[in-house]
Amino acid sequence: MATALKNLSEYDPAKVPAAKNMRFAIVVSEWNSGITFSLLEGAYNTLIKHGADPDHIRVNYVPGSFELTAGATALAETKSYDAVICIGCVIQGETPHFDYICQGITYGLTQLNIEYKIPFVFCILTTNTLQQAKDRSGGKHGNKGDEAAVTAIKMVALKQNI
């Protein structure tokens, strides 16, 4: 469903499993930090809201969104986490750089999902404007970080229940 028709922070909490015994890593891009740190706040608070222990949530930072794959890999290699939430923001510019970065991140995180067999949650805003990013990181469309945390919890529960 298009974001314009849905608030990213609205969901049925009754349909979210308890995150009490789950361990999460969050890797956050420092580029566009005004956006990414807001996404981090949404994700972190939503994990806590659903019972995650703050001591079982590790937050690490990488310089930019392209480095999310490397940061997520390093966290996965510790074998300490049930899921890794990857938070970034890439805003369209005047060159094709946007396309290469977005494609690289998407491919990289897809490969990590396959290779490590734990969820790597895609919380990367790929917007045309800064305003669109603000709208999706706590603005009129809610916070994509909330959605990413719910996704992480549900995917960990799915794996535990199989």
Q: Is 97 one of the annotated active-site residues of the chain?
A: yes
End-to-end CA distance of the chain: 28
CB-CB neighbours of 113 under 10 Å: 17
C-alpha–C-alpha distance, residues 59 and 107, integer Å: 22
| Catalytic-role residue among 50, 56, 97, 141 | 97
Q: Are 120 and 157 in contact (CB under 8 A)?
A: no
The DSSP secondary structure of 4-66, one letter per residue, reads GGS-TT---GGGS---TT--EEEEEESTTHHHHHHHHHHHHHHHHHTT--GGGEEEEEESSGG
Candidates 24, 74, 81; CA nearest to 48 is 24
- Report, as residue numbers or ranges, the catalytic residues: 97
